[in-house]
Amino acid sequence: MKKYPFKFLDSYNQNDTDIFFGRDEEVNALYEMIFQHSILLVYGGSGTGKTSLIQCGLAGKFKSYDWLAFMVRRGSNINASLEKALTDAGGNDVVDEDEITSENEKKLTGLPKLIKGVYQTHFKPVYLIFDQFEELYILGTKEEATQFIESVKQILASEQPVKMIFSIREEYLGYLFDFERAVPQLLRKKLRVEPMTIDNLTDVLTGINNFKNSNVRIKAEELGTITEGIFNRLRGKKNTLTIQLPYLQVFFDKLYMEITHDESRQADAIVTNETLLSMGDIGDVLRDFLEDQVKIISQKQTVAGNNIPVDTIWKILSPFATLKGTKEPIEKKELQNRLKGIDEKLLNDCIEAFVSHRIMNFNEATNTYELAHDSLAKCIAEKRSDEDIALLEIRRLINNQVAIKAEAREPFTGKQLNIIEPYLNKIELTAEEKELIAQSRKEVERLRNAEKRRRMAKLAGSLISLAIAASVAFGVNLYNKKVTAKKTQQESLARFKALAKKSMEKENKLQAYLYTIEALQLEKDTTAYDSLVTEASKARRLPLYSLNKMLLHNSVVVRAAFAPGDSAIYTWSSDGLLNEWNLQTGSLIRKVKFELKNDDEGNSELINPHTTVLFSQQNNNSLTVADTVLQDSSVYYKKMFAQLFEPDATGLPGFPEIIMKIRGANYSADKKIEITWGKNTESIYDAVDLWDEDGINIGPSLVHDGIYGAAISKDNSMVLTWGSDSTARIWRTTKGDTSIFKLNPELMKLKAQLQTGVEVSPIDQTLKIIFPEAYIKKQEEYKELIDKIGGEKKN
């Protein structure tokens, strides 16, 4: 029987090895690596085919007796999903209480025992494949991730016949920091799944033609031109060297339907240049597909005889995409809770329509619905209005708070309530959520009154101290009031600190920020805290940047710059092409062929027959390496401080011990931000780091491997990076997000010295080893400083 050789937005699996083409090199590399190490990391951009590569390409290389694979998706909790997968596969079936079980076997517990149970049921090596692993970091909690890391360590230590494969989108690689620290072998064997090139596409089309059961054929004598035609259409005006698989699949499906009009996809089709040309301008295939389906569904669905507005369909789709534009699996019941204003029947009908229109899939293992591909989630996220985004943020804030057990749950702060209140009439709240908000209002009111009383007490205290001699009895009374006020203040302060710490552990920066500001306000009168207040308020203004656009060339991008007024971006590559890009949309405005000449000062002179244009690297700012950057014989070093990971001993967020090797540096226009680029000791990639005027690292590293240079826009809202990977990347500040909690610089310096065991010599500005005696002294200084600042000791 003939077979349709495309999978639309579904992944290829072990049954599709006969139609899986163009990935031989990666499959072979993966197959070799799996015999070399017990952990593999597969990473790549969205739509590069990571899942298919593993569950079809790799799985197809194994005989059935050597491959017992479990695709573990996060579901509602990755640890529970892992346990369920192993239990379902017979993990608990081995009877271990009876007389035929050896003593050694009885010692095993937890996951290793489950894995042993699975092994003794099947006698096959177990492969745990954690697909879309980024979900743990997008949708999971810190506790969940920590528990998972412990589980992985436990599995590795148990030496069971098990291997683990992690598949993750490359933009989330940075999130593996803690994981790699705990499991250093995590990144030892890794494979980047490259986006599809024209050569891969040629292999795919040739493979389809060679597959004798395929019901699709490409006209053999036109194979070359058809390949090129498809490739050019899919890359559109972007002129990239690669295309995304979901786009190719959706395009082919569209092409097939144009030729056959057979929805059962059984009819034979022959693709020719002519059929390809008849497709006309295809635009953004995936967005168009989604919009078409939404329109069709809106016309099909009715309530009281009326069609459903397209906006309602988008609203129903919205919860399935995270704020970051990745897919979020949701149970039907949860969706009904989130979309209370929408009729339940309509909701169910729409979900069914989404599934039948191949926008969505149902995952039986987790009982959830999810979008067929992350690329659809991106399209949905882009459709959201600012208000939708704000509503989702508020929803996340409320969910996070309610997710905590009732006995440990804390009310919202005054500032949180100020953010939430304007949207309350636009979101459906459960009885529990309503009660929490009501409680929070009461608590805020109580705290306000307590603060008033404290101020009153302070004022009274001043008056009394002036008149202390007048009445000892009155003084005692006042003293009691002061003690009470102080006690209330200390209690509130301790609670706010604890809440800030808890929020930071959950990586809820916004919430932690609000709690800390509350805490700081209560400590206004303590001088020891002043420096922290200054740091925090300073840090509050500092932006975090996230990748916004990627501008692609055909060869190495040697220079890039913001155009005057930050309206456009110029990039130029080693093949002599100067591109001008629209800064807002990332679209190419024009392309000019130039001869490129660099002068001695690093400026690039672009010459065409008519004009000579001189561009500076960045807003005419100095290229001088900052004073705080240190130099040894060959490279520059810089210590990288505060990163918002684990709490410090003070209860505030700490920072890892990272030393950055710097290849270049630059200043912002106002000279308040310094940017450096190079490689740091914790990362295998080149990255850009930003530093404030006190030399404090702000925000996460902007990863751009093979970086040549970086610049910052005049208003500091964007960072531009460019490099050998033929891309220039624009990074923007994340709306509503701020980098906070910069610690006392002296404390940071000491902590970094203690963690790294090296310090910067004040004499010759080189790195020196700290010897034991000095190290102990520094430890004591560090403890004293923490005590002085008033932080809590970490257990």
Partner 1 sequence: MDNTTGAAANQDIVIENVQTDSITVKVNGEMQEIKNGFEELKALLATLNAENFKSGDKIYNIGSITNATFSAEIGKKTFNMLLCRKLTEAIQDYSADAKSFLAAIKDSDKGNWETQSRYTRKANAYIISSYVGVLGILLRKLIASGQDASSSGNQKDYLEVCIATTKRTLQLLCFAFISRLWDLSTDKPQALGNDQLNALDNFFNSPVELNITDYVTLFKTMVSFFKEQQLDYPFSEIKEMEAALNDGSTFLTNCKNLQAISDKLDAGQYTLSTAFEAETELTEFLVTLKFLANYKMISVKDIAYEEIRSNTAQYLHAYTFLGVDNDSNMYSQKFKYDNNPISTDSILLFKDKYQDGLNLFPFIIDINALTNELEVKICFYTYYEENKKRLAYSDINKISSDKNDNENNIQDPSEVAITYNEEIENDIKASVDRDITRFKSDVKRFHDMQLNVVYKTFQLAKNIIVS
Question: Under rule CB under 8 A, which residues in 64-103 are in contact with partner 1?
Answer: 64-66, 94-95, 99-102
Distance CA 596, CA 576 (A): 6
69 token code pair: 């694979």
Please list every residue from 607 through 666 that binds partner 1, using CB under 8 A.
Answer: none
Longest CA pairwise span in the chain (Å): 110
Q: Taking the complex as a whole, how short is the minimal distance between the CB of residue 64 and partner 1, in angstroms?
A: 5
Residues between 357 and 376 with contacts to partner 1, criterion CB under 8 A: none
Least separation in angstroms between residue 59's CB and partner 1 is 14
Shorter beta-carbon distance to partner 1: residue 121 or 146: 121
Say if CB 641 and CB 654 are below 8 A apart.
Answer: no
Binding to partner 1 by residue 120, rule CB under 8 A?
yes
Distance from C-alpha of 128 to C-alpha of 214, rounded to nearest angstrom: 32
Task: Identify the DSSP state of 178.
Answer: H
Q: Is 160 in the site for partner 1 (CB under 8 A)?
A: yes
Interface residue with partner 1, options 3, 84, 124, 300 (CB under 8 A)? 124
CB of 32 to partner 1, least distance (A): 9
Closest to partner 1 by CB, 38 or 239: 38
- CB closer to partner 1, 95 vs 470: 95
Structure tokens at 771: 């010897």
Cβ 617 vs Cβ 561: under 8 Å: yes
Of 123, 121, 125, 122, whose CA–CA distance to 159 is shortest?
125
| 644: amino acid identity, one letter | L
**Closer Cβ to partner 1, 27 or 342, answer by number:** 27
Residue range at the interface with partner 1 (CB under 8 A); choices 14-22, 123-131, 396-404, 488-496: 123-131
Give min distance, CB of 376 to partner 1, in A: 36
Binding residues for partner 1 restricted to 435-494, rule: CB under 8 A: none
Indicate the residue among 163 and 233 with the shorter CB distance to partner 1. Answer: 163
Provide, rounded to whole angstroms, the least separation between the CB of residue 109 and partner 1: 13
Kind of pairing between the strands at 68-72 and 126-130:
parallel
CB of 396 to partner 1, least distance (A): 41
CA distance 500 to 651: 8
In whole angstroms, the minimum distance from the beta carbon of 148 to partner 1 comes to 22
Stretch that binds partner 1, among 59-67, 520-528, 546-554, 692-700 (CB under 8 A): 59-67
Closer by beta carbon to partner 1, 120 or else 299: 120
The CA-atom distances, in angstroms, between 617 and each of 516, 569, 571, 623, 664 are 39, 12, 10, 9, 12
Return the number of the residue (186 or 665) whose C-beta is nearest partner 1.
Answer: 186
- Beta carbon of residue 66, minimum distance to partner 1 (angstroms, whole number): 7
Q: State the nearest-atom distance from the C-beta of 49 to partner 1, in Å.
A: 23
Strand 686-691, strand 674-680: pairing = antiparallel
The rounded distance, in Å, linking the Cα atoms of 273 and 202 is 15
- The amino acid sitting at 677 is W
- Report the nearest approach of partner 1 to the CB of residue 108 (Å): 8
Give the integer Cα–Cα distance in Å for 609 and 166: 53
Nearer to partner 1, 35 or 620 (CB): 35
User: By C-beta, is 104 or 527 nearer to partner 1?
Assistant: 104
Q: Which of residues 12-41 bind partner 1 (CB under 8 A)?
A: 35-38
- Minimum distance from CB of 430 to partner 1 (Å)? 47
Tell me if 745 sits within 8 A of 534, measured CB to CB.
Answer: no
State in angstroms the smallest separation of the CB of 33 from partner 1.
Answer: 9
Within 171-190, the residues that bind partner 1 by CB under 8 A are 185
CA distance 662 to 200: 36
Nearer to partner 1, 96 or 792 (CB): 96
Binding footprint of partner 1, residue count (CB under 8 A): 31
Nearest distance from C-beta of residue 206 to partner 1, angstroms: 14
Residue showing tokens 């989108």: 169
Angle at 540 between CA 534 and CA 545, to 5 degrees: 140
CB 712 within 8 A of CB 705: no
Residue 65 vs 474, nearer CB to partner 1: 65
- Binding of residue 277 to partner 1 (CB under 8 A): no
**Residue 210 is a binding residue for partner 1 (CB under 8 A):** no
Cβ distance to partner 1 smaller for residue 118 or 748: 118
119 binds partner 1 (CB under 8 A): yes
Nearer to partner 1, 68 or 381 (CB): 68
* Selected binder of partner 1 within 24, 88, 122, 490 (CB under 8 A): 122
Give the DSSP letter string of 707-764: EEEEEE-TTSSEEEEEETTSEEEEEEEEEEEE---PPPHHHHHHHHHHHHSEEE-TTT
- Residue 24: φ, ψ to 5°: -55, -45
Q: Least CB distance from residue 46 to partner 1, whole Å?
A: 31
Is 108 a binding residue for partner 1 by CB under 8 A? The answer is yes
Among 140-148, 158-166, 378-386, 762-770, the segment contacting partner 1 (CB under 8 A):
158-166
Does residue 497 belong to the site contacting partner 1 (CB under 8 A)? no
Candidate segments 122-130, 218-226, 662-670, 769-777, binder of partner 1 by CB under 8 A: 122-130
Binds partner 1 by CB under 8 A, chosen from 13, 17, 121, 621: 121
Nearer to partner 1, 99 or 773 (CB): 99
Residue 780's identity, in one-letter code, is E
Stretch that binds partner 1, among 19-27, 58-66, 399-407, 572-580 (CB under 8 A): 58-66
Count Cα atoms within 13 angstroms, Cβ side, for 90. Answer: 13
Closest CB to partner 1 among residues 157, 469: 157
Tokens standing for 516?
């800390």
- DSSP 3-state helix, strand, coil percentages of the chain (rounded to 5)? 45, 20, 30
What backbone torsions phi and psi does residue 773 show, to the nearest 5 degrees? Answer: -60, -50
Token digits of residue 543? 């932006």
DSSP letter (8 states) at residue 658: E
Nearer to partner 1 by Cβ, of 122 and 442: the residue is 122
Contact 318, 366 (CB under 8 A): no
Judged by CB under 8 A, the stretch of 4-12, 120-128, 266-274, 565-573 that binds partner 1 is: 120-128
Distance CA 75, CA 77 (A): 6
How many angstroms separate the CA atoms of 201 and 22, rounded?
Answer: 7
Q: Whole-angstrom Cα distance, residue 505 to residue 515? A: 13
| Residue 232 parent element (H or E) | helix 223-235
Smallest separation (angstroms) from partner 1 to the CB of 4: 25
* Beta-strand runs (E) in 140-218: 162-169, 190-193, 216-218
Phi-psi region of 49 (alpha: psi -120 to 50; beta: other; left: phi over 0): left
From the list 50, 116, 233, 395, which residue makes contact with partner 1 (rule: CB under 8 A)?
A: 116
Applying the rule CB under 8 A, the residues between 280 and 339 that interact with partner 1 are none
Residue 108 or 588: the one with the smaller Cβ distance to partner 1 is 108
Q: What is the DSSP letter of 12?
A: P
Interface ranges with partner 1 (CB under 8 A):
35-38, 61, 63-66, 94-95, 99-102, 104-105, 108, 116, 119-125, 158-161, 185
